[in-house]
Amino acid sequence: MYYMYVLIMSNDQLYIGFTPNLRERIKKHKEGRVFTTKKYLPVKLVYYECYLSKKDALEREYQVKRFGSTWSHLRKRIFNSIKESQGRGN
């Protein structure tokens, strides 16, 4: 499986990523072993999508990162998950 995921960081910003191993990647984020998120610990997983195709997962990550309307729609869908996770740490 391949995953597109969204984390919330300690500065309340959202991070969008891709990985073939979600558990290991989230563990690396939480341990501060990912350059882009290590200064914003703690981080928390708030959303993910899984795909059988690597190409589909990468395409979805690209869409969410590059197209404002896609990102806006996703943020609306996961609004309560984001709100509930803010300030709660790991």
What are 16-72's pLDDT values in tens digits? 999 999 999 999 999 999 999 999 999 999 999 999 999 999 999 999 999 888 888
Nearest CA to 5 out of 83, 67, 78, 76 is that of: 78
Q: List CB contacts of 24: < 8 A, sequence separation 6 or more.
A: none
The full set of domain ranges for the chain reads 2-85
pLDDT for 69 equals 85
Fold annotation for 2-85: GIY-YIG endonuclease (3.40.1440)
Handedness of CA 26, 76, 71, 51 (dihedral sign): positive
12, 86 Cβ separation under 8 angstroms: yes
The span from the CA of 36 to the CA of 13, in Å, is 12
Phi and psi at 19, nearest 5°, equal -160, 150
Phi and psi at 89, nearest 5°, equal 70, -145
pLDDT band (50, 70, 90) for residue 82: confident
Q: Report pTM.
A: 0.86
In this predicted structure, the answer to whether residue 87 has a pLDDT above a threshold of 80 is: no
